[in-house]
Amino acid sequence: MSSAISSVRPKPDQVLVDIADYAANFHVASAEAYQTAHYCLLDTLGCGFEALSYPACTKLLGPIVPGTVVPHGAKVPGTSWQLDPVQAAFNLGAMIRWLDFNDTWLAAEWGHPSDNLGGILMAADWLSRTAVAAGRKPLAMHDVLTAMIKAHEIQGVIALANSFNRVGLDHVALVKVATTAVVANLLGLSRDEIVNAVSLTFVDGQSLRTYRHAPNTGSRKSWAAGDATSRGVRLALIAKTGEMGYPSVLTAKTWGFYDVLFKGQPFRFERGYGSYVMENVLFKISYPAEFHAQTAVECAMQLHPLVKDRIADIAKITIRTHESAIRIIDKKGPLDNPADRDHCIQYMVAVPLIFGRLTAADYEDGVAADPRIDALRDKMVCVEDARFSKEYLDPEHRSIANGITIEFADGSKMREIVVEYPIGHRRRRKEGIPLLLAKFRVNLARRFAAKQQQTILDAIDDPKRLASLPVHEFVDLVV
């Protein structure tokens, strides 16, 4: 009996079709989504500006071949480089993610949807400059904001019920998918060409999470998203040439993504694509810390004035937390580098307890050498709270709760401090946005003279004015 495989080319997998239809045809009508995207744009660029203070980041930036000049290329914010859109996307993407300070989405898979801005803004800037050079109309920042909303939605909706980390894959795979889809649309690809482009992202090589976990934690986690968003631009450009796609890339028996990389399980979806993710995204406003620890840091900051003079007397610290935090950032033993430290909940609690702060500089070797930090870490224990774990995944809550209890050597115990929703949560928008804008102003001041800072602030103060700006004119303000 013949076992020959049919060579009849199948219809595209529905997952690909749904992404392409959304990227090409969905009209975003949510005023809240656009308002949040406006703030997200500012915060994300600000995170990149701060990263430019760190040589470990800047050594990776610039053209691949030194001295390369790209006429009408994309200009990288905060720098003087003008590059091809793929390398520009890597530059901006690496800057954005370097300090673990941009937005976050937490679900079955976690990630940082604003990572996609690297590809979106740099592709849009290049398209605008080439359009103007050819006498055509450039893209407007409204197009960038729309692409941001859609990239957030694609990455976030897939992440709601599909855990890539549980099969050992890194969440930046979803950055590549989302960037490819929305950049393909910016490039003017048809719906069928976007299907082809997105299929290329799944047949592509996928990043392992090796660099995020002990004993191999390292700095690639800071540029992995830059790599993914730049790859998204590259694949969209390949599809633009008319390159074919692979319609059953997900479902093909034996050779498809599900069988090879997802334990044979198809993706599950809790909702269709709209504007839910941008409306509910989490901002990292106060602390450059892995998001599962944000509320723990808030607790520690509340405790600092009460314990700063009794650090040596602490006998035990109990961190009541949720399952994802225990799986990702509950770490014992040596922490070898900043990438290790900013993914250790014990470290992120110890520093504010001792110093009353947590900044990006606090992950560097000089601060980490303080013996009090590791002494406190050794006294910490993480315990899972079932309600915290449940409400972390509940769409009506999406909490990221932590509680801290401190016991002293004399047997006394402090009242537990609990924070269930971090300052960057949708439930705390009114409280958080003024602080987010203050964060942006601080980051502007890191890179620009006072006059240019004011020019930028004037341009972004009115959301309608910003949305109408040609992309290349906006980017010119921030280089």
pLDDT for 239-259, tens place per residue?
A: 999 999 999 999 999 999 999
pLDDT for 143-169, tens place per residue?
A: 999 999 999 999 999 999 999 999 999
Sheet holding 402-408, edge to edge: 380-384, 314-321, 402-408, 417-419
Spatial contact of 288 and 359, defined as CB atoms under 8 Å apart: yes
DSSP for 258-273, please give it. HHHHSTTPPP--SS-S
In sequence order, which residues have a C-beta less than 8 Å from that of residue 426 and are 6 or more positions away?
A: 279, 280, 281, 282, 398
Give the residue among 336, 350, 332 at the shortest CA–CA distance from 293: 350
Q: How far is CA 351 from the centre of its chain?
A: 24
Spatial contact of 77 and 479, defined as CB atoms under 8 Å apart: yes
Q: Count the Cβ atoms, other than its own, within 10 Å of residue 414.
A: 16
Please tell me what DSSP assigns to residue 76: P
Q: Which tokens belong to 134?
A: 């050819």
Q: What is the pLDDT of residue 118?
A: 98
C-alpha to C-alpha distance for 373 and 197, rounded to whole angstroms = 48
Q: What is the CA radius of gyration of the chain?
A: 23
Q: What is the pLDDT of residue 355?
A: 98
Please tell me what DSSP assigns to residue 434: H
Q: What is the pLDDT of residue 396?
A: 87
Give the residue among 89, 42, 37, 95 at the shortest CA–CA distance from 63: 89
Crossing angle of the two packed helices 172-186 and 14-25, in degrees rounded to 10: 50
Task: Provide the strand spans (E) within 261-313.
Answer: none
Q: Which tokens belong to 479?
A: 């280089």
Q: Count the Cβ atoms, other than its own, within 10 Å of residue 307.
A: 17
Helix (H, G, I), strand (E, B) or coil at 347: helix
C-alpha to C-alpha distance for 33 and 43, rounded to whole angstroms = 15
Question: In this structure, are strands 74-75 and 417-419 parallel, antiparallel, or unpaired?
Answer: unpaired
Q: Which tokens belong to 246?
A: 């692979």
Cα four-point dihedral sign 132, 137, 142, 147: negative
Give the residue among 35, 28, 32 at the shortest CA–CA distance from 462: 35
Low-confidence ranges of the chain (pLDDT < 50): none
Q: Which tokens belong to 327?
A: 């799986």
Tell me phi and psi for residue 397, to 5 degrees. -120, -60
Tell me phi and psi for residue 161, to 5 degrees. -125, 10
Q: Is the pTM of this model over 0.85?
A: yes
Q: What is the pLDDT of residue 3?
A: 61
